Structure 1
Amino acid sequence: MDLKTITANELMEKLEAGEKLELVDVREDEEVAAGMVPEAKHIRMGDIPANLDYFDKEKEYIFICRSGSRSANVCYYLHEQGYNVTNMVSGMLTWEGKTR
């Protein structure tokens, strides 16, 4: 299956245009403490299976990690469960927008 992807710049443009997006950062606590996309919800990769009830199959979710590989793994997993997912390729390494 081909994963849907978005770049950090494309995501920033969508947020700046006022689009309401469902963003999920799957990095570990100490990584997120260094800064995450302000609109993102933090659910660690290892906690995703226990949090499936958070996700709605009617919505699209964009997953974020440091470099894009963990978020890709989460996307494959959730796609198999029937969710609409997109991976932010190259992750926070290329994010130039605000962080919190």
Structure 2
Amino acid sequence: MSNEIKQYIEKGAVVLDVRTIQEWNEGHSEGAKHIVLNTIPEHVEEIKSWDKPVIAVCRSGGRSGQATEFLSTQGIDVINGGPWQNVDKHL
């Protein structure tokens, strides 16, 4: 898992945090983008416009897993990074 995260970071991946605003305010990765999970479908074009691979993160990996599944069906190069702290230590 962490090898894949490292490879994505080396490719210039964007960290996409899909937690709630309250969770985001309690702490997040520097430079991460924040789009709450249930609003992801409204932001597909924005995410595509980043033109970068994406690492989805949340608190435990469940919501980021849902985001990963959805975004990959939209043709976005995305992996589930699991808990945001997992990815944070690679940044």
Larger helix share, 1 or 2: 2
Name the TM-score, length of structure 1 as normaliser.
0.71
For CA contacts below 8 A with separation 6 or more, give which structure has more relative contact order: 1
Moved over 6 A (4+): none
* C-alpha spacing 1:93/1:61, structure 2 compared with 1 (3 Å): closer
* Shift in Å, 1:39: 1.5
Q: String of CA shifts for 1:20-63, please: whole Å, max 9, x gaps.
A: 33111000000001000011010000110011111228521010
Secondary structure of the residue aligned to 2:59 is coil
- Structure 2 residue 73 is the aligned partner of structure 1 residue 80: yes
Q: Equivalent residues in 2 for 1:1-100 (5 A)?
A: 6-7=1-2, 11=5, 20-56=12-48, 58-89=51-82, 91-92=83-84, 94=86, 97=89
Which has more radius of gyration?
Answer: 1
CA contact (8 A) 1:67 1:93 kept: no
Residue 3 of structure 1 corresponds to which residue in structure 2?
A: none
> TM-score if structure 2 supplies the norm length?
0.77
